[in-house]
Structure 1
Amino acid sequence: MAGALWVPRGLCWVYSRRRITGMLLDPLCSYAPHSPLPTLPSLCQPWAPQPSRGVRVSSVLWAGHNKWSKVKNIKGPKDAARSRMFMKLAMMIRLAVREGGANPDFNVQLANIVEQCRSKNMPKASIETAIKGAEKSKGSAYVLYESRGPGGSALLIEILTDNKTRTHQEIKHILNKNGGVLCDGARYNFEHKGVVTAAGEDLEGRTVSLERALELAIESGAEDVRDTQDEEEKPLLQFICDVSSLRSVREALDSLGLRTVSGGQEFVACNSVQLSDSDLESASRLLEVLSDCPDVIRVWDNIQAMD
Structure 2
Amino acid sequence: MSGHSKWHNIQAKKSKVDAKRGKIFTKIGKEIAMVVGEGGSNPDSNSRLRDVVAKAKAANMPNDTIQRAIKKAAGEMGSTHYDEIVYEGYGPNGVAVIVETLTDNKNRSAGNVRSAFTKGGGNMGSTGCVSFMFQKKGELIIERGDLDEDEIMMLALDAGAEDFAAEDEVFVVTTSPEDFGAVREALEAQNIEFLEASVKMIPDTYSAIDEDAAKKFQKMLDLLDDDDDVTEVYHNAEFPEGWEE
Same fold (TM over 0.5): yes
Distance 1:190 1:79, change over 3 A: closer
Give the TM-score, by structure 2 length: 0.77
Structure-1-length-normalised TM-score:
0.62
> Which blocks of at least 5 consecutive residues in structure 1 are unaligned?
1-76, 230-234
How big is each residue's C-alpha offset from its partner over 1:107-151, in whole Å with a ceiling of 9 and x where there is no partner?
122123223324444344532343323624342211011111112
Aligned mate of 1:243, from 158, 177, 181: 177
Larger Rg: 1
Q: Residues of 2 paired with 1:274 and 1:120: CA distance?
A: 28
In the alignment, residue 55 of structure 2 is paired with which amino acid?
Q
CA distance in 2, matches of 1:174, 1:300: 14
CA gap of 1:150–1:137, structure 2 versus 1, over 3 A, is farther
Q: Is the 8 A contact 1:95 1:142 kept in 2?
A: no
2:131 to 187, 195, 199: 187
Q: How does 1:1-307 map to 2 (within 5 A)?
A: 81-131=20-70, 132-133=72-73, 135-184=77-126, 185-201=129-145, 206-209=146-149, 216-227=155-166, 235-253=169-187, 259-261=192-194, 263-306=197-240
Say whether the 8 Å CA contact 1:147–1:155 is kept in structure 2: yes
* Structure 1 residue 92, shift from structure 2 partner: 2.2
Deviation at 1:78, TM superposition (A): 7.9
CA gap 1:226/1:284 in 2 versus in 1, 3 angstroms: farther
In structure 2, C-alpha distance between the alignment counterparts of 1:263 and 1:161, rounded to whole Å = 23
CA distance in 2, matches of 1:248, 1:79: 29
Whether contact under 8 Å (2:58, 2:193) holds in the other structure is no
State the 1:183 CA deviation.
Answer: 0.7
Deviation of the 1:267 alpha carbon: 1.2
* Partner Cα distance (2:212, 2:235) in 1: 17
Q: Aligned pair in 2 of structure 1 residues 272, 95: CA closer, same or farther (>3 Å)?
A: farther
Q: CA deviation at 1:214?
A: 5.1
Which deviations, in whole Å up to 9, do the C-alpha atoms of 1:224-246 show, x marking residues without a partner? 234568xxxxx332211111112
RMSD: 2.8
Structure with larger RCO (C-alpha < 8 A, sep 6+):
2
3-state SS of the aligned residue for 2:192?
strand
Corresponding residue pairs, total:
220
Query: How far off its partner does 1:199 sit?
Result: 3.1
Residue identity in the other structure for 1:193 = K
Give CA-to-partner distance per residue, 1:199-241, whole Å, 9 cap, x none: 314xxxx3444x7765554433211234568xxxxx3322111
Structure 2: gaps of 5 or more residues? 1-15
